[in-house]
Chain A
Amino acid sequence: MTDDLGAKLALLTDDRPEPADPAAPIRARIRTRQLHRRTAAAVCAAAVAIAVVVAGSVIGSIKSAEPGVATPGQRTQGLNFTYTRLPEPWSDEPACTTQPDALKYGPAFYVTDGSIPNEHWAVASYYSDGCLVITDEGPAKSFGGAQGCFDQNWQPDQRSQYKTVPAVIPNLSSPMPLTMVMGAVSAEARKVRITAGGKTYDTDAIGTPNSSRFRFFAVVVTATESQITAVTPLDAAGKVAPSPR
């Protein structure tokens, strides 16, 4: 029976139409399937990229809702813009922006940093020509993430434009009058001399990639806002620097 069955099964498959070239339709199927695979791969890649971007934005917004917690994801990315490097002092170190909506500050660069009781702070210039933002990097948030822009409303002989931000340090046994002074001076300046509460503070005027017109400065003085009496930019020769052009 089994030998006979083999013969019968062979008979079953005898009468079939044969294509002229069976390889041709298969080659066409292979091309179609390859195209589908590439399309699917491209769609998957695009979906993954979108998911990553969306997830990154969501995570970034969640993290940035916690001022003072710096994360690598908030570092300035994609510094592919052109700028004129100013003479020293100069900073092109990408900065963490720890404020809400941190992404809007990019690209940002450190201007300077320092410490007060319970807190480390830093000031960064960000994308807009002439703007600064304070990044509080401690639990107290003493300066409240203040920011300021100094690129408008310059008077003809005005040599500096600045903002003062008093520190609010909770749980301090003996209150200290600490005030952040941050602002902009002309690109010709190299230092900024601040007189406050009878003392003189010298700090560097830092150039950053964000501006070729201004240099930036920031310093914390032991004085109240009302005790700040002078903010004077000095050029490389130690003379009073001109107004920004």
Chain B
Amino acid sequence: MTAEDDFDEFVRARWTATARLAYALTLDHQKAEDLAQDAFTKLWFHWRKVRDGNPEAYLRKIIASTFLSGRRRRWLGERPTETPPETVVDPATVQVDERLAIHQAMARLSPRQRAAVYLRYAEDLSERTVADLLGCSVGAVKQHTRRGLEALRADLTFAGPDQLADLTERGI
């Protein structure tokens, strides 16, 4: 199997997870696909070096750094709004309501808070790993996570009274 075949197999195997992460960060399907493709493209130029190591971690690092650097360059491009930017989903189901709620809540977080929260609680990564991915200290990750969760907690459409009580009990 050539390096290209090997890489293509990796792309197919990791595309869904990578696109999910990209979407969680960008909250936009087009931007997510672009970010994921860009990350895989960057990975290819280091493929021979990382293929026998941990390419998933390297890919995640690329995603995080590309997203954050892109946000730095185009920070004004993101304006949290009262209503979610994507309203094409059918609001008839509870699941869609929940998705809209979490989308809206995540959109109100800063990029670093969003990344920290998603990587910690959706990807279940350690604070140390998240710190490496975001290029910051563990303390900064704790702070981003705490503030992110506080913002989510404050969002009444996301967390109900019971959940808020639960958060308070856990000291989060």
Q: Are A23 and B20 within 8 A (Cβ)? A: no
Q: Are B38 and A29 within 8 A (Cβ)? A: yes
Determine if A79 is an interface residue (Cβ-Cβ < 8 Å). Answer: no
Determine if B58 is an interface residue (Cβ-Cβ < 8 Å). Answer: no
What's the Cα separation between A27 and B8 when bound, in Å? 8
Determine if A1 is an interface residue (Cβ-Cβ < 8 Å). Answer: yes
Q: Are B19 and A16 within 8 A (Cβ)? A: yes
Task: Give per-residue flags for A17-41: 1 if the beta carbon is below 8 A from chain B beta carbons, else 0.
Answer: 1110111011101100100000000
Task: Give per-residue flags for A79-114: 1 if the beta carbon is below 8 A from chain B beta carbons, else 0.
Answer: 000000000000000000000000000000000000
Among A2, A19, A26, which residue has the most Cβ atoms of chain B within 10 A? Answer: A26
Known: A5-B121, A6-B124, A13-B24. A26 touches B163 (CB 8 A): no
Quick one: closest B residue to A34, CB to CB? B45
Known: A5-B121, A30-B41. A16 touches B23 (CB 8 A): yes
Option from B16, B36, B40, B102 in Cβ contact (under 8 Å) with A9: B102
Which range contains the number of A residues in contact with the other chain?
A: 20 to 34
Determine if B78 is an interface residue (Cβ-Cβ < 8 Å). Answer: no
Q: Which residues in chain A, 1-17, are within 8 Å of chain B measured between CB atoms?
A: 1-2, 4-6, 8-17
Minimum CB–CB distance from A140 to chain B (whole Å) comes to 62
Among A1, A10, A19, A23, which residue has the most Cβ atoms of chain B within 10 A? Answer: A1
B19 contact set on A, CB distance < 8 A: 13, 16, 18, 22
Q: How many A-B residue pairs have CB under 8 A?
A: 91
A14 contact set on B, CB distance < 8 A: 99
Q: Are A23 and B11 within 8 A (Cβ)? A: yes
Determine if B166 is an interface residue (Cβ-Cβ < 8 Å). Answer: yes
Known: A1-B166, A2-B121. A26 touches B99 (CB 8 A): no
Option from A1, A5, A11, A26 in Cβ contact (under 8 Å) with B40: A26
What's the Cα separation between A30 and B7 when bound, in Å? 12
Option from B12, B15, B99 in Cβ contact (under 8 Å) with A12: B99
A10 contact set on B, CB distance < 8 A: 122
What are 19 sample pairs from A and B whose C-beta atoms fall under 8 A apart?
A: A1-B159, A2-B121, A5-B117, A5-B149, A6-B124, A9-B122, A11-B98, A12-B103, A13-B19, A13-B20, A13-B24, A16-B23, A18-B16, A21-B12, A22-B36, A26-B37, A26-B41, A29-B37, A29-B40
Task: Give chain A's interface residues, CB within 8 Å of chain B.
Answer: 1-2, 4-6, 8-19, 21-23, 25-27, 29-30, 33
Add 13 more A-B contacts to A1-B159, A14-B99, A26-B11 (CB < 8 A): A2-B172, A6-B122, A9-B24, A9-B117, A11-B99, A16-B23, A22-B40, A23-B12, A23-B15, A27-B8, A29-B40, A30-B45, A33-B45
Task: Give chain B's interface residues, CB within 8 Å of chain A.
Answer: 4, 7-8, 11-12, 15-16, 19-21, 23-24, 29, 32-33, 36-38, 40-41, 44-45, 89, 95, 98-99, 102-103, 106, 117-118, 121-122, 124, 149, 152-153, 158-159, 163, 166-167, 170, 172
Closest 7 CB pairs of A and B: A13-B20, A9-B122, A22-B15, A23-B8, A23-B11, A29-B41, A26-B40
